[in-house]
Amino acid sequence: MNRVRDALLASVLVLLILAAALMVLSTGPLGVAPSALLAAVTGRGSPEAELALALRGPRLLAALTCGAALAGAGAGFQILFRNPLAAPDLLGVSSGAGLGAALALLLGAGAALVQGAAFAGGLAAGALALACAALTRSGDARLALILCGVVAGALASAGLGLVVVIADPWSQLPSITYWLLGSFTRATLPEAVGALLPVGLGAAVLIWLGFRLDILSLGDEQARSLGLPARALRLLALAAAALMTSSAVAVAGVVGWIGLLAPHAARLVVGERAGRLIPASMALGALFALVIDRLATAFGPAEIPVGLLAAAIGAPAFLILFIATSRRA
């Protein structure tokens, strides 16, 4: 019975994402019939359809990948820390990635190098947080991790502030600011495809961890008492979530709220078990990112940065979700 319900739910989510993707690809200034798009995918489409696919395809892929990555990482952190406020930037990963990208932009690097620097910066901040937490002898390892994440994020933010002050206000600052606000526009096909690999790897690890994440959520003592190597598994989960976050931020800049909102929405539908919550969160995160990115271009030629839209829509949506769940409980 549960299995049938899960299969049904999974197909509904996949169909929703496919429908949204078709909608995004086919509408806009260049209207293309969905059937023409499908023909273009198989390589026998009209020039318009191929143009729409080439223009919108990478961006679509980037939005899907980043949305899924942020939501999956957010769900992982929320389970691991038993904290509904845990978000993908918990270990300071987003700030670290922002610092990396801003430094690269300051030095006049090209797009690929900026992405690489953001990725490295995010992982460095996450590693710093993990290393600091390993030095503590606190009874509650999770508290140490949260505090060290705050420290790593604060250091990266300070560095970012410095870069912003140093940056040339005419030539460099706008690009840094724009990068930080988040956008899927700049994604090229190689970049979007390049993010798929680390995101897929991180997601595979989190999904494999599955019931082991549920046990880690009970705390170290319970995990060790149940015969699991708690520290090693938690490190693996944190590394996977940090990898996913860094990849997403490197492609899209800092896009908040998806990683917080999608797991909460998913929890309402599939419950708390990690094995179901993580895939469901990723699907909803992908959908949410897609919808937000479509809205970003819906109000005229000047795009609204998706980071702003995600917060503007995500924050009230989060509040509504919270009120709904608290009333149901």
Partner 1 sequence: MSGLRLEGLVAGRTGGFRLPPLDLTVEPGEILALIGPNGAGKTTLLKTLAGLLPPLAGVIVDNGAPAYLPPPGAVSAGFSALHLTALGRARLRRWSPGLTPDDLDAARGALDRLEVGDLADRPFDRLSSGQQQLVLIARLFVQDASVCLLDEPLALLDPAHAQAVEAAIRALAAEGRVLVASTHHLPFAARADRVLAVGPDGIDVADPAEALAPDRIRALFGVEVAGCPCCGQALS
Binding site for partner 1 (CB under 8 A): 82, 208, 210-212, 214-215, 217-218, 221-222, 224-228, 271-273, 275
Would you say 56 or 212 has its CB closer to partner 1? Answer: 212
Pull the structure tokens for residue 25. Answer: 């690809």
Would you say 28 or 210 has its CB closer to partner 1? Answer: 210
Cα–Cα distance, 239 to 232 (Å, whole number)? 11
Using the 8-state DSSP alphabet, how is residue 299 labeled? S
Would you say 211 or 322 has its CB closer to partner 1? Answer: 211
CB within 8 A of 216, min separation 6: which ones?
79, 80, 209, 223, 228, 230, 233, 234, 237
Query: Among 273, 285, 263, which residue's Cα sits nearest to residue 210?
Result: 273
Q: Which whole-number Å values give the CA distances from 157 to 72, 102, 160, 171, 180, in the listed order?
A: 24, 11, 5, 21, 12
Would you say 59 or 142 has its CB closer to partner 1? Answer: 142
Cα–Cα distance, 48 to 46 (Å, whole number)? 5
Would you say 139 or 300 has its CB closer to partner 1? Answer: 139
Pull the structure tokens for residue 60. Answer: 């679509």
CB of 263 to partner 1, least distance (A): 12
CB of 74 to partner 1, least distance (A): 16
CB of 277 to partner 1, least distance (A): 9
CB of 226 to partner 1, least distance (A): 5
CB of 225 to partner 1, least distance (A): 4
